[in-house]
Amino acid sequence: MPDWFKGKENDSASQYRLAQAYDEGKDGVAEDKAQAAKWFTKSAEGGYTNAQFSLARMYHTGNGVPVDLAKAVKWYTKAAQAGDEVAQNNLAVMYDTGEGVPIDKTKAFEWYTKAAQAGYAPAQHNLALMHYSSRSSAADQAKAIEWCTKAAEAGETEAQYNLALTYVSGEGVPQDVVKAAEWFTKAAESGHADAQLNLALLNWNGVGVERDKVRAYYWACRADLAGADKAVGLRSEIVGSLDKETKRAQEERARAHDAKVRRK
């Protein structure tokens, strides 16, 4: 046990720090997941929210302890009730999917809402998806778009892609292929394969953007590298319009940018 912990054995914040140290192998201790779980538990039982979340995640993922979804739900719930928005979202997902608990869409909606209102982008997107799947009223559709937009503006890649699709379809919003192209671009730049493919198509066909066969080929290459269906066919369609030097340059550029995204 490190010297800095002596005399602090009953302090929840210090217990949490020690648990983190054992979890990551830092602050003068070797990595020891069993000790991490022990001290996260002591801190969590003392009401320390960060420890409650960390302990829940250990049981949820099986990181150093056997997976125990019941314990994950228990500790996510305590952290969620204390206002931890990531715990609120994770708990909502478990109720949404029936992981460790019976499916309860009402509870999922409530916890997504709390986390979304706290500004947690993944929860905002998840809440948007619940509204999208309901579509029982125009109000649901409006809420779906509202939350999807918030998540997209916060940088949630999947939300950016879904918002782009919404502007393409014009479902619940005026159709706007220019805005669709903007949101496809944001998602594509973050490595979203289907957004890359759609952006390649828009550039190739000159929809929402000025027709640009070079950009179209670049994004088709990115989509292909990311594994998008139909990207190979689109590359083959575009490549005949390019000279060899341009083709090679865009392929190299695509590989470099794809590698950069994967390193993040």
pLDDT of residue 209: 96
CA 47 to chain centroid, in Å, comes to: 28
* Predicted confidence pLDDT, tens digits, the chain (264 residues): 777 787 788 899 999 999 999 999 998 899 999 999 999 999 999 999 999 999 999 999 999 899 999 999 999 999 999 999 999 999 999 999 999 999 999 999 999 999 999 999 999 999 999 998 876 567 788 999 999 999 999 999 999 999 999 999 998 899 999 999 999 999 999 999 999 999 999 999 999 999 999 999 999 999 999 999 999 999 999 999 999 999 999 999 999 999 999 887
**Same domain (yes/no): 93, 124:** yes
The domain total for the chain is 3
Residue 169 sits in a domain of what CATH number?
1.25.40.10
User: Is 103 within a domain?
Assistant: yes
Q: Contact at 8 Å (CB) between 103 and 130?
A: no
Domain coverage including residue 92? 83-175
Last residue of a domain, one of 81, 108, 125: 81
User: Is 184 within a domain?
Assistant: no
Last residue of a domain, one of 81, 106, 128: 81
**Same domain (yes/no): 59, 143:** no
pTM: 0.89
User: Is 180 within a domain?
Assistant: no
**Same domain (yes/no): 77, 87:** no
DSSP result, 80-146: HHTT-HHHHHHHHHHHHHTSSS---HHHHHHHHHHHHHTT-HHHHHHHHHHHHHH--SHHHHHHHHH
